[in-house]
């Protein structure tokens, strides 16, 4: 599971994340919602070990991401919003390479790649260079690379960005499978309210670097007092906090 305690991140004078605490339990999908610049990507990058926090602690299955990065990263799958992929490799070669890094035995690796390619409808393009892929196809490869080793903690930054409706549905199914069949703790950021409503067990709302609400959709509806759709709840909660801050 993923545990974040009193996380702060400053970029120079800018306090991008200001003391946030949350947990994602095994088998749970937590959606991270917030306006542009709220601190979502910063938080997810700190959880992945790509950025150091200014203060606070992140543990993945009880391994501290700063003090025990090797152990912590073994538990982790991370799909950034701007994934780095080797464009001179084919999709299949890239996934074989990632699978080898995670020490997955060749038989299982080949099968897993076949299955994922089939599920995300990329089998026809598996042996073409990643450099020739569309943006959506690249994102599918990044998602496959993030889950190939069945991580215990999965971090997804805008997982359906650039995917067509059918592919987005398949990506959501894969994310649900990871949580509900493999017991993975999933943290995802999204701007798409439907995704939060459809697949997240709990939702955390972040605004100006602070967590302003965490709970199920029903709990957030009560907190917002007004509004029934998640979009209305989100607007009300962030508006309330903005006026509280002055
Ligand atoms: N490398 C950086 N250097 C300086 N400031 C940064 C850096 N990265 C992010 N920021 C600032 O930190 C704040 C939080 O940014 P972050 O990318 O975490 O927000 P976000 O919630 O992911 O936004 P979006 O929804 O627009 O992707 C913003 O004000 C942003 O300008």
The whole-number mean pLDDT for each consecutive block of 10 residues of the chain, a chain of 246 residues, reads 97 96 97 93 96 97 96 94 92 97 94 95 96 94 96 95 89 95 96 87 94 89 72 77 54
Comparing CA positions, the residue from 146, 179, 175 lying closest to residue 48 is 146
Residue nearest to atom 29 of ligand 1 (CA): 37
Residue nearest to atom 16 of ligand 1 (CA): 39
Cite the residue boundaries of each domain of the chain with CATH code 3.40.50.300: 1-75+151-163+173-246
Q: Please state the ipTM of this predicted complex.
A: 0.98
What's the pLDDT score for residue 194? Answer: 84
Contact between 201 and 26 (Cβ < 8 Å): no
Determine the Cα–Cα distance for residues 21 and 19; give it in Å rounded to an integer.
7
Gap from CA of 150 to ligand 1 centroid (Å) = 29
User: Is the CB of residue 45 below 6 angstroms from any atom belonging to ligand 1?
Assistant: no
Q: Which residues contact 147 (CB under 8 A, 6 or more apart)?
A: 77, 116, 154, 174, 178
Which atom of ligand 1 is found nearest the CA of 157? 22
Question: Which strand ranges, in their side-by-side order, compose the sheet holding 153-157?
Answer: 76-79, 153-157, 185-189, 29-33, 202-207, 210-215
What's the pLDDT score for residue 244? Answer: 55
User: Is the CB of residue 40 below 6 angstroms from any atom belonging to ligand 1?
Assistant: yes
Gap from CA of 90 to ligand 1 centroid (Å) = 32
Contact between 34 and 94 (Cβ < 8 Å): no
Q: Calculate ∠ Cα 246-225-28, nearest 5°.
A: 95
Which atom of ligand 1 is found nearest the CA of 44? 18
Token digits for 69? 């990065």
Determine the Cα–Cα distance for residues 185 and 152; give it in Å rounded to an integer.
6
Residue nearest to atom 5 of ligand 1 (CA): 11
- Count CB atoms within 10 A of the CB of residue 1: 18
Half-sphere exposure of residue 37, counting CA atoms within 13 Å on the CB side? 4
**What number does CATH give the domain 1-75+151-163+173-246?**
3.40.50.300
What's the pLDDT score for residue 246? Answer: 43
Residue nearest to atom 28 of ligand 1 (CA): 37
Residue with tokens 């999204």: 190
């Amino acid at each position: 599971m993923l545990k974040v305690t009193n996380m702060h991140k400053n970029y120079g004078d800018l306090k991008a994340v200001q003391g946030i605490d949350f947990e994602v339990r095994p088998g749970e999908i937590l959606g991270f919602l917030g306006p542009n610049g709220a601190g979502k990507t910063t938080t997810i990058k700190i959880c992945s070990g790509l950025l150091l926090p200014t203060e606070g602690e992140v543990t993945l299955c009880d391994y501290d991401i700063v003090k025990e990065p090797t152990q912590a990263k073994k538990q982790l799958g991370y799909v950034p919003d701007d994934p780095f992929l080797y464009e001179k490799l084919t999709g299949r070669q890239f996934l074989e390479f990632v699978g080898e890094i995670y020490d997955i035995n060749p038989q299982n690796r080949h099968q897993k790649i076949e299955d994922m390619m089939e599920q995300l409808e990329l089998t026809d393009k598996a042996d073409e260079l990643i450099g020739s892929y569309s943006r959506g196809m690249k994102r599918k490869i990044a998602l496959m690379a993030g889950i190939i080793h069945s991580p215990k903690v999965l971090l997804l930054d805008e997982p359906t960005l650039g995917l067509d409706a059918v592919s987005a549905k398949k990506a959501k199914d894969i994310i649900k499978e990871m949580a509900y069949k493999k017991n993975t703790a999933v943290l995802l950021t999204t701007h798409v309210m439907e995704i939060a409503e459809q697949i997240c067990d709990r939702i955390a709302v972040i605004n100006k670097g602070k967590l302003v609400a965490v709970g199920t959709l029903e709990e957030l509806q009560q907190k917002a007092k007004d509004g029934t759709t998640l979009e209305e709840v989100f607007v009300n909660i962030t508006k309330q906090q903005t006026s509280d801050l002055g």
